[in-house]
Amino acid sequence: MPSPERVRRLVFRGALAVVWVAAGYYLLFGGVYSILDMRGLEREHAASLERADSLIHLTDSLVMRGDSLESDPAAIERIAREKHGLVREGEELYRFREPSSTEPPSSTTVDE
């Protein structure tokens, strides 16, 4: 039979192991923000930063486009010509249309 001192040490070590396991479990899964929650928040933060960067880029390009439309007559003319099909005297306008899905595709044959 083991001595009482040895039994006491084994119980102490077992209790210490249980405390360490409980602390590790609480660190991983417990508390207000567990490690898993923190990783999810880090991913959300990174996605938010990426979205903010893309919005800043979009804002900058829109500001530059607005500035060019305010001060550059050539930019205004280009947009008007593209959007409304405007042409200058002596120019010809070519419009391309997408084939509708109901029309059968045209087959081309070459006669020799």
pLDDT band at 3; cut points 50, 70, 90: confident
Residue with tokens 């567990």: 34
Query: Percentage of residues in the chain with pLDDT exceeding 70?
Result: 90
Q: What is the dihedral of CA 54, 57, 63, 65, to 10 degrees?
A: -100
CA distance 60 to 103: 43
Predicted structure pTM score: 0.48
